[in-house]
Amino acid sequence: MPRDFDDERDDFDDLPRGHVEPHRGTLILVLGILGFVVCGFLGIAAWLMGKRDLELMKQGRMDKEGEALTRVGYILGLIETILMAVSLVLVCVIFGISFAARGGAR
C-alpha cells in the first residue's frame, strides 16, 4: 500500500514489538575522532547522526547500550563543526584585511 507524505507513521512502526534498531555509537565516535584528525566534514556527519540517534534512544526506538559512545561522538562532532565555522570566519576576515591593506581591487 503506497504511503502519503503526510502519513505520521515511519519505518519503525513496522518493527515487531520490543525490537529496537541497533546503535551506531562506535561509528559516530569514529567519525567524531576522524573529524579532528583527518577531515572536519566528518565531524558534521558525527554531529548530525549522533543527534538523530540520541533522539531515537530517548524514544526507545534504538538500543541504549551505545548511548555513551554516541554522546561522545556527537559532542566531538559538534565541537569540530563549531571550530570549522570559527576557522572559516577567521580565514575570511584575514583575507579581507589582507585585500584591504593592498588597496582593494585595482
Give the alpha-carbon dihedral of 49, 50, 52, 58, to 10 degrees: 160
* pTM (2 d.p.): 0.71
Asked if residue 11 belongs to a domain, the reply is: no
| Cα angle 90, 91, 96; round to 5 | 95
Asked if residue 3 belongs to a domain, the reply is: no
Q: What is the pLDDT of residues 15-52, one digit of tens each?
A: 555 678 888 889 999 999 999 888 888 999 999 999 99
Asked if residue 36 belongs to a domain, the reply is: yes
Residue 35: which domain range? 24-101
Asked if residue 76 belongs to a domain, the reply is: yes
Our count of domains for the chain comes to 1
